[in-house]
Structure 1
Amino acid sequence: MPSILMDVDTGIDDALALVYLLSRPEVRVEAITCTAGNVGARQVALNNLALLELCGRAGIEVAVGAEVPLEIPLVTTEETHGPQGIGYAELPLPKQEISSRHAVEVWVDAARSHPGEITGLITGPLTNFALALRAEPDLPKLLKGLVIMGGCFNYQGNTTPTAEWNVSVDPHAAAEVFAAYSGLPEENLPVVCALETTERIELRPEHLQRLAEAAGAEPELVLPEQPEGQRSRSGNPLVACLSDAIRFYMEFHRLYDQGFIAHMHDAFAAAAAIERTPYGTRPATVHVETAAPRLVGTTVADFRGIWKEPSNARIVTSNDPAKCFDELISSVGALAAAVGKRP
Structure 2
Amino acid sequence: MTYGPPIPVIIDCDTGVDDALALLFAVRHPGIDLRAVTCVAGNTDVDGVVRNTLTVLETAGAPDVPVARGAERPLIEAPRSASHVHGHDGMGDLGLPAPRRTPADVDAVTLLHREILASPRPVTLVPTAPLTNIALLLRTHPEVTRNIERIVFMGGAAGAGNATPVAEFNVWHDPEAAAILLTAGVPLTMYGLDVFNRVVVPAAEVHRLRTSTEPGARLAGDLLAHRPAAPGTTAGGTGGTAVHAPADGTGDPDGPDEAAGGLGDAGALCAVVDPRGLTTYRLPVEVSLAPGPARGQTVVDRRSRIGEAELHEGTREQALVDVGLEVDVPRYVKLYLETVEAGGTG
TM-score interval w.r.t. the shorter chain?
0.7 to 0.9
Q: Which residue of 2 aligns with 1:67?
A: 72
1:236 counterpart = 2:240: no
Q: Paired residue for 1:41?
A: 46
Equivalent position amino acid for 2:243 in 1 = H
Q: 5 Å matches for 1:129-278?
A: 129-153=134-158, 155-181=159-185, 188-209=186-207, 212=209, 220=210, 234-250=212-228, 253=243, 260-275=259-274, 278=277
The residue number in structure 1 matching 2:103 is 98
How many angstroms does 1:145 deviate by?
Answer: 1.1
State the shift of 1:284 in Å: 1.8
Q: Distance in 1 between matches of 2:217 and 2:205?
A: 12
CA 1:166–1:88: 2 relative to 1, 3 Å? same
Letter of the structure 2 residue corresponding to residue 279 of structure 1: L
Helix, strand or coil: the match of 1:318? strand
Distance 1:207 1:234 in 2: 11
In the alignment, the residues of structure 2 paired with residue 335 and residue 84 of structure 1 have an alpha-carbon distance, to the nearest angstrom, of: 26
Distance 1:25 1:170 in 2: 33
| TM-score, normalised relative to structure 2 | 0.83
Structure 2 partner of 1:20: 25
The amino acid that maps onto 2:279 is G
Q: SS at the partner of 1:328?
A: helix
3-state SS of paired residue (1:309): coil
**By how many angstroms is 1:305 displaced?**
6.9
Deviations 1:131-159 (A, max 9, x none): 00011223333201110000001x11111
In structure 2, C-alpha distance between the alignment counterparts of 1:113 and 1:174, rounded to whole Å: 25
Name the aligned partner's letter for residue 162 of structure 2.
Answer: N
Cα deviation, residue 298, structure 1: 0.7
Residues 49 and 96, structure 1, Cα contact 8 Å, conserved in 2: yes
* Aligned mates of 2:317, 2:23 — CA distance in 1: 35
After TM superposition, what 4+ stretches of structure 1 lie above 4 angstroms from structure 2?
none
Q: Which moved more, 1:68-77 or 1:233-242?
A: 233-242
Letter in 2 for 1:335: G
Higher relative contact order (CA 8 A, sep 6+): 1
Change in 2 beyond 3 A, CA 1:310/1:151: closer
Task: Measure how far apart 1:250 and its partner are.
Answer: 2.2
Match of 2:248 in 1: none
The answer on whether the counterparts of 1:89 and 1:241 sit within 8 Å (CA) in structure 2 is no
Query: 2:168·2:193 contact (CA, 8 Å) conserved in 1?
Result: yes
Aligned to 1:313: 321
Tell me the CA shift for residue 277 of structure 1: 5.5
- RMSD, matched Cα: 2.2
The answer on whether the counterparts of 2:21 and 2:223 sit within 8 Å (CA) in structure 1 is no
1:260 to partner: Cα distance: 4.3
CA 237–140 in structure 1, closer or farther in 2 if over 3 Å, else same:
same
For these two proteins, the number of residue pairs brought into alignment is 308
Following superposition, the deviation at residue 115 of structure 1 comes to 6.6
Separation in 1, partners of 2:27, 2:63: 11
Taking the aligned partners of 1:209 and 1:193, their CA distance within structure 2 comes to 27
Q: Within 1, Cα distance between the matches of 2:156 and 2:205?
A: 26
Distance in 2 (CA, whole Å) between partners of 1:47 and 1:19 is: 12
CA displacement 1:255-279 (0-9 Å, x = unmatched)? 7xxx944332211101112236611
Which of 70-79 and 240-249 deviates more? 240-249
Whole-angstrom CA distance in 2 between matches of 1:136 and 1:146: 16
**Any stretches of 5+ residues in structure 2 without a counterpart?**
1-5, 230-241, 246-257, 307-314
- Cα offset, 1:128, TM superposition: 0.2
Where 2:68 maps in the other structure, the secondary structure is strand
Residues 276 and 81 of structure 1: CA distance in aligned 2, closer, same or farther (over 3 Å): same
* Structure 1 residues 131 and 254: alpha-carbon distance in aligned structure 2, compared to 1, 3 A threshold: closer
Which residue of the other structure, out of 319, 331, 343, is the alignment partner of 2:339?
331
- Taking a change above 3 Å as real, the CA distance of residues 114 and 305 of structure 1, as seen in their structure-2 partners, is farther
Shift of 1:87: 0.9
Please state how far the C-alpha of 1:80 moved relative to its aligned partner. Answer: 0.4
